[in-house]
A and B are shown apart, each in its own frame.
Chain A
């Protein structure tokens, strides 16, 4: 993958201009959120930089590079390689299924040495990329036709099913919903969605059968978490206790009893929001939500301002994807939806999640930089 921007060779000043033109306030927002994440990990380790905080900080610093690279690569090039990124990710997912090793009871990782790559998370980005390209190339009259709906549906459903089989219900949901949102924004008719939903509805019993016992249990316990407080409902209940006992101002940094006395499950990954909200209370939780809202708002503004269909779909798809991660994670730890195992972007400890978010943000900035670039059906740029 080319890291150097296309303009690099032509004009040095253009490249500098491009860097200066980046939305640095987005980078600032990202750094703020990541900083909160490091603090949360520091607290989760009982006030130690080890084993999580230092590593997470390093990852964020390193991930800034692919982000900038993604931003500077240029929308046109992304358009060209869109399908390839999708295919590569799909192959990686299949590879994970074939020879991935068991981690947390689920086969999700490829060990790349530096990070344990979880290609399913990358898929949510590359799917948006390739769907963006597909619908960009589609004429308006074809969009509403059923046969042009089949390919994007397959592009969405294949990785969804593969990830579901890993089994990773949360990521599968994010992939599926990202695909649906992109198609919706692209203008696919509601009628087609209605057909889709009925098909999905018919498939539900089959999906239910395909679910692992623990996944079924999670849905059961979601429906009635207090029924078995020491069994499967333990995680949700303990998380709610942590949040509720935090109150308005929280128990104070490093003073969260629920997380420090190990009542919280997965406190450094999926349940890290609970650690934060226990120690910083409603105010802390609201501030983090506000930061996320600001990032999402930026994304929407950039997406809506973009002139190219591809850029708009890409940006909105990525923002939606980002939003889904935030929403599902927080809704999960607050007991609004079942526990599905989704990290909180930029805060949860984990390499792939960090990388995915940062590349997504890079793509978003790339759209911003090239918001005025027009692309024809095959992706050739023509500026006004």
Chain B
């Protein structure tokens, strides 16, 4: 029988030994991943928009501390320890293995850290540990562009063990999401010997991973900040500032925003409820995902389409009587008495609705739609952050496909003034003007392949294809937009830039949130503050500057603000003036300069014309 034992030992220790050696190593050797530091996100001048903050947290290890309440008392004499934290520590200490460190406090300031470090010899079991936390120096200022990081969710797991680490954070929105692969880096590994209860006995090997790479975007942090501040006066705004030549997005604001840092450690349910139930949609990036009827800002598209199609010449005169009858329907101009006889330039300047009804009628919807598509409407532009919407440019085929009904001629008229089914994002409106001034199919984008801009110059100009629209036609439309702002009688004359060298051209727009009823037509429009906020019209303005050699384009949509020229135009004016002062497309600003006028002046309301655009 002892022979049986000997045979059994032989079987275990010789025959099956290899298998058990592997099992034994699996038992004792644990592969731990080292989280790579996440790459930074930098603006065009190298200012960090997202980086990693050294985070000091205080941990207590029960087996070394001995008397935990006494240690906590000693600690409380040095730094503030809340009663709730104290209770939590006592609870966790009881529940966990005595060698597992329990976090006493997060986010220690440098001061607190130093005070504790000095006293550590008298505080057994207390140690200060370092970690990296995602940090957003501009807080909500660039939240919609940068996005945020958060814990990896179930459906984002790819089998990469790095994603399973409890402290790993993945990009959930904006650049953080779009460039996650670049920012993430690769995990390092640490082989440690552990015992049966998981305590690390010693480190066997260590392979450092690759830290995530920095991502440079074309945004100008100072302009972003300026635009954010300028928009803060209104409840719900989105504004886009483009370099019309390179297509770089210099600023993109959706206001109100949120603090991206809230997501890093998990959003608290109350904050989430507050953010998601806010009717101003702080979580949505309205600049790329908000779709609005472009209203009169669409008129340059109709003009360009008509000039290109030859249904209109610069000299074609159309008489506006305040309304246009088509069949048994009547289409009204915003100006009750009408504009009289107009040519294209004045029609743009005064934003005459009847002129563009007639233009659209002559064009037909499909030719109008084709030009709109060439200028960037109707489909997502493909900007390099997630969540972009494509808006809508209707065609006869589209209507038949979606509703089964035939296209009505009246719908063409409405589309001619950017109403009806026409929908666009603020980014598309800005892009339309960028294409208009450059003549090329500019695609707005964030990523700067050339890296940080240096004194020697910026990136090579992206070579966008020509849109194939005649220069004379473009020049005429741009001149009309110049008149809108810079000629008395233009709808945004009040919002002109005083310095001639910075003068902008633009187009105002008002998009109806609800139809104007016959009653209102008959009895005069209600005053704006008599209408509930949610029912008020959206105010739009799109502008380019300088007028002579356009480089910058700004589109602003102020939700439920009334008339475009009253509210949206001054924002565009201030932004374009500021951007020309800084000139981030061509110049590297002196170190540490921020936008020159951080408190933009808002002219008193009564100084504005009450013209509707």
> Which residues does A use to contact B, with CB under 8 Å?
238, 240-248, 257-258, 260-263, 277, 281-282, 285-286, 289, 292-293, 296, 323, 326-327, 330-331, 334-336
Does residue B276 face the partner (Cβ distance < 8 Å to A)? no
Q: Answer whether A247 and B27 are a contact pair too, CB < 8 Å, given A240-B12, A289-B5, A334-B8.
A: no
Top 6 closest pairs, chain A to chain B, by CB: A244-B20, A245-B24, A261-B195, A262-B196, A282-B13, A263-B196
A247 lies within 8 A of B17 (CB): yes
Inter-chain contacts of B6 with A (CB < 8 A): 286, 289
Q: Which residues of B contact A335 (CB under 8 A)?
A: 12
Q: Which residues of B contact A (CB under 8 A)?
A: 1-2, 4-6, 8-10, 12-14, 16-17, 19-21, 23-25, 27-28, 193-197, 201
**Within the assembled complex, what's the spacing in Å between the Cα atoms of A241 and B4?**
19
A161–B25 Cα distance when bound, in Å, is: 43
A247 touches B197 (CB 8 A): no
Q: Contact between B196 and A245 (Cβ–Cβ < 8 Å)?
A: no
Give Cα A285–Cα B9 distance, bound, in whole angstroms: 8
Given contacts A258-B24, A262-B197, A282-B10, contact A245 B17 (CB under 8 A): yes
| Chain B residue at smallest Cβ distance from A234 | B196
**Residue in B4, B13, B19, B27 whose beta carbon sits within 8 Å of that of A246 in the complex:** B13
The distance in angstroms between the C-alpha atoms of A79 and B194, with both chains bound, is: 56
Partner of B28, one of A248, A263, A282, A292: A263
Give 28 pairs: A residue, B residue, CB < 8 Å, sorted on A: A240-B20, A241-B27, A244-B16, A244-B17, A244-B24, A245-B21, A257-B193, A258-B27, A260-B195, A261-B28, A261-B193, A261-B195, A262-B195, A262-B197, A263-B28, A263-B196, A282-B14, A285-B9, A285-B13, A289-B5, A289-B6, A323-B2, A330-B8, A331-B4, A331-B8, A334-B9, A335-B12, A336-B5
Q: Is the CB of B24 within 8 A of A257?
A: yes
**Nearest Cβ on chain A to B279's Cβ, whole angstroms:** 52
Are A323 and B1 closer than 8 Å at their CB atoms? yes
A245 to B16, CA, bound (A): 9
Give the shortest distance, in Å, between A38 (CB) and chain B (any CB).
22
Are A282 and B201 in touch, CB under 8 angstroms?
A: no
CB-defined contacts of B20 to chain A, threshold 8 Å: 240-245
Contact B12 A243 (CB under 8 A): yes
A343 to chain B, nearest CB (A): 16
What residues of B have a CB within 8 angstroms of the CB of A244 in the complex? 12-13, 16-17, 19-21, 23-24
- Kindly list chain B residues whose C-beta atoms are within 8 Å of the C-beta of A293: 2
Given contacts A245-B21, A245-B23, A261-B196, contact A330 B5 (CB under 8 A): yes
Contact at B23–A241, with CB atoms within 8 Å? yes
- Alpha-carbon gap, A286 to B12, bound state (A): 13
- Name A251's closest neighbour in chain B (CB-CB): B24
- By a CB distance below 8 angstroms, the chain B residues around A257 are 24, 27-28, 193
Instruction: Write out the residue numbers on chain A whose beta carbons fall within 8 Å of the beta carbon of B10.
Output: 282
Taking a contact as CB atoms under 8 Å apart, the answer to whether A327 and B1 are in contact is: yes
A244 to B25, CA, bound (A): 12
Q: How far is the CA of A243 from the CA of B6 in the complex (A)?
A: 13
Among candidates B4, B9, B27, B194, residue contacting A243 with C-beta atoms closer than 8 Å: B9
Q: Which residues of B contact A330 (CB under 8 A)?
A: 5, 8-9
Distance between Cα atoms of A216 and B328 in the complex (Å): 93
Which A residues are CB-close (under 8 A) to B12?
240, 243-244, 334-335
Chain B nearest CB from A27 CB (Å) reads 22
Alpha-carbon gap, A286 to B2, bound state (A): 10
In the assembled complex, the Cα of A355 lies from the Cα of B20 at a distance in Å of 36
Beyond A245-B21, A248-B14, A257-B193, list 12 extra A-B contacts (CB 8 Å): A243-B13, A247-B14, A261-B195, A262-B197, A263-B28, A282-B10, A286-B9, A289-B2, A323-B1, A334-B5, A334-B8, A335-B12
Q: Which of A258, A261, A292, A326 contacts B194 (CB 8 A)?
A: A261
The distance from the CB of B10 to the nearest CB of chain A, in whole angstroms, is 6
CA of A296 to CA of B3, assembled, Å? 13
A336 near B4: Cβ-Cβ < 8 Å: yes
Complex Cα spacing A278 to B27, Å: 14
**In whole angstroms, how far apart are the Cα atoms of A293 and B14 in the complex?**
22
- B residues within 8 A CB of A282? 9-10, 13-14
Q: Is the CB of A261 within 8 A of B9?
A: no
Task: Please give the distance in Å from A270's CB to the nearest CB on chain B.
Answer: 15
Residues of A within 8 A of B5 (CB): 289, 327, 330-331, 334, 336
Q: How far is the CA of A330 from the CA of B10 in the complex (A)?
A: 13
Contact A247 B21 (CB under 8 A): yes
Chain A residues within 8 Å of B27, by CB:
238, 241, 257-258, 261, 263
Could you say which of A261, A292, A326, A336 contacts B8, with CB atoms under 8 Å apart? Answer: A336
Closest-CB distance, B459 to chain A (whole angstroms): 57
A273 to chain B minimum Cβ distance, whole angstroms, is 10
A241–B18 Cα distance when bound, in Å, is 10
- Cβ contacts under 8 Å, B25 to chain A: 245
Residue of B nearest to A258 (CB): B24
Q: B24 to A241, Cβ gap below 8 A?
A: yes
A248 pairs with B196, CB closer than 8 A: no
Which one of A238, A281, A326, A336 lies within 8 Å of B13 (CB-CB)? A281
List residues of chain A with CB within 8 A of the CB of B13: 243-244, 246-248, 277, 281-282, 285
Distance of A43 from chain B, by nearest CB (Å): 15
Give A225 Cβ to nearest chain B Cβ, in Å. 13
A245 to B195 Cα, complex, angstroms = 16
**A residues within 8 A CB of B193?**
257, 261
Known interface pairs A242-B24, A247-B17, A262-B197; A327-B9 also in contact (CB < 8 Å): no
Do A277 and B195 touch across chains, with their CB atoms under 8 A apart? no
Chain B residue with Cβ nearest A244: B20
Residues of A within 8 A of B196 (CB): 261-263
Q: Which A residues are in CB contact (< 8 Å) with B28? A: 257-258, 261, 263
CA distance A261 to B195 in the complex (A): 4
How distant is A228 from chain B, measured CB to nearest CB, in Å? 16
Q: How far is the CA of A40 from the CA of B28 in the complex (A)?
A: 21
Output the residue of B12, B19, B195 with the most chain A CB within 10 A: B12
**Residues in A whose Cβ lies below 8 Å from that of B17:** 244-248
Q: How far is the CB of A365 from chain B (nearest CB, A)?
A: 22
Q: How far is the CA of A335 from the CA of B16 in the complex (A)?
A: 13
Q: In the assembly, what is the distance between CA of A85 and CA of B24, in Å?
A: 47
Task: Tell me the complex Cα distance, A323–B4, Å.
Answer: 13
Closest to A250 in B: B13
Q: How far is the CB of B580 from chain A (nearest CB, A)?
A: 69
A173 to chain B, nearest CB (A): 15
Set of chain A residues within 8 Å of B4, measured between Cβ atoms:
331, 336
B200 CB to closest chain A CB (Å) equals: 11
Most chain-A CB neighbours within 10 Å: which of B5, B21, B27? B5
Residues of A within 8 A of B19 (CB): 244
The docked-state distance in angstroms from the alpha carbon of A345 to that of B270 is 66
Contact residues in B for A334 (Cβ distance below 8 Å): 5, 8-9, 12
Q: Which residues of B contact A260 (CB under 8 A)?
A: 195
Residue of A nearest to B19 (CB): A244
CB distance from A144 to the nearest CB of B (A): 28
Q: Which residue of B is nearest A296, CB measured?
A: B2
For the complex, give the distance between the alpha carbons of A293 and B10 in Å: 17
> In the docked arrangement, what's the CA distance between A292 and B196, Å?
32
Question: Which residues of B sit under 8 angstroms from A262, Cβ to Cβ?
Answer: 195-197
How far apart sit A281 and B196, CA to CA, in the bound complex (Å)? 22
A327 to B27, CA, bound (A): 28
Assembled-state Cα–Cα distance A258/B22 (Å): 12
Q: How far is the CB of B32 from chain A (nearest CB, A)?
A: 16
Q: A352 vs B602: C-alpha distance in the bound complex, in angstroms? A: 96
**In whole Å, how far is A3's beta carbon from the nearest beta carbon of chain B?**
34
Tell me whether B8 and A263 are in contact (CB under 8 A).
no
Query: Of all chain A residues, which has the CB nearest B23?
Result: A241
Q: Which residue of B lies closest to A239 (CB)?
A: B12
Q: How far is the CA of A260 from the CA of B202 in the complex (A)?
A: 13
Residues of B within 8 A of A240 (CB): 12, 20
- Is the beta-carbon distance between A327 and B23 smaller than 8 angstroms? no
